[in-house]
Homo-oligomer: A and B are copies of this chain.
């Protein structure tokens, strides 16, 4: 099995830390990355503060992940400072990026043509979105106005995405895939889940430990699904690898072992209906 690509996510915005907005971007990205066999090792939520963001990016780079994704802070207002913080973190100047400027210009022209805005003039606030750290590549935003940026720093690819979920998803799905494929390759991921009927999660601990030890390549997680007199524990098994057959065989083997030990302990098992 080839090395699993490691990913860190940094969500940026005071509104997140004020509790004004629930960050759903990180969860969406975690699902996507897990689904292509990557591993999100860490996620952080940082205020609109250049020093704090730059510190966080430097710490992430020190851990040598394959990919660092930031979300938020790419817009036209003064508190949108992600590109500046990235530039400071990697000690590169912030420069007006010709391709990014073309992308921003084209978006405002389209918005003006459609009557969404009156004037497509490139004001300072709009031009600000085209200043990227030196060496970055601009990636088109099919939904909003701020382009994303991709910057290679040593072994790590640093991708800056907007914070508006529709824009973040649009870029991730429509214009970022070539960058993502270079990182994740064609790895395969599978997940299976069952529900165990048991007294409480503590009765499950010694049983799980046995199966976990015997199947180190499979990740097994327990989570209480329903409390009350009939406790239900959701057991999720997942694994990633290059070969589909191998991944499926490993999960099936762990699942069989788990069902056998649950039966021995007198616990009932049911399949988890797909979401």
> Which residues from chain A sit less than 8 Å from chain B, CB to CB?
14-24, 26-34, 39-47, 52, 59, 75-79, 111, 114-119, 123-126, 128, 145, 164, 199-206, 208-209, 212, 219, 221-224, 227-229, 231, 236, 238
A199: chain B residues within 8 A (beta carbon): 116-119
- Sample (18) of A-B pairs whose CB atoms are under 8 Å apart: A14-B219, A16-B43, A17-B43, A18-B30, A18-B238, A22-B24, A26-B45, A41-B52, A42-B47, A77-B201, A77-B202, A77-B204, A78-B212, A117-B231, A125-B203, A145-B200, A145-B202, A164-B224
A117: chain B residues within 8 A (beta carbon): 199-200, 231
A20: chain B residues within 8 A (beta carbon): 31, 221, 236
A30: chain B residues within 8 A (beta carbon): 16-19
**Sample of 6 further A-B pairs with CB below 8 A, known A125-B203, A128-B205:** A41-B52, A77-B201, A77-B222, A78-B205, A117-B231, A118-B199
A128: chain B residues within 8 A (beta carbon): 205
A28: chain B residues within 8 A (beta carbon): 19
Question: 7 nearest interchain CB pairs?
Answer: A19-B31, A19-B30, A76-B202, A125-B205, A43-B45, A125-B202, A17-B40
Min CB distance, A253 to chain B, in Å? 20
Residue contact A42 to B42, C-beta cutoff 8 Å: no
Closest residue of chain B to A127 (Cβ to Cβ) is B202
Q: A16-B30, A200-B111 are in contact. Are A52 and B45 (CB under 8 A)?
A: no
Alpha-carbon distance A204/B76, docked complex (angstroms): 9
Closest residue of chain B to A164 (Cβ to Cβ) is B224
Residue contact B32 to A19, C-beta cutoff 8 Å: yes
Alpha-carbon distance A34/B267, docked complex (angstroms): 45
Alpha-carbon distance A78/B206, docked complex (angstroms): 8
A204: chain B residues within 8 A (beta carbon): 77
Alpha-carbon distance A118/B231, docked complex (angstroms): 12
Alpha-carbon distance A20/B32, docked complex (angstroms): 11
Min CB distance, A225 to chain B, in Å? 11
Residue contact A52 to B42, C-beta cutoff 8 Å: yes
Alpha-carbon distance A22/B200, docked complex (angstroms): 23
Q: A117-B199, A201-B77 are in contact. Are A19 and B23 (CB under 8 A)?
A: no
Residue contact A116 to B229, C-beta cutoff 8 Å: yes
Closest residue of chain B to A44 (Cβ to Cβ) is B44
Min CB distance, A168 to chain B, in Å? 13
Alpha-carbon distance A27/B16, docked complex (angstroms): 7
Closest residue of chain B to A230 (Cβ to Cβ) is B116
Alpha-carbon distance A269/B153, docked complex (angstroms): 45
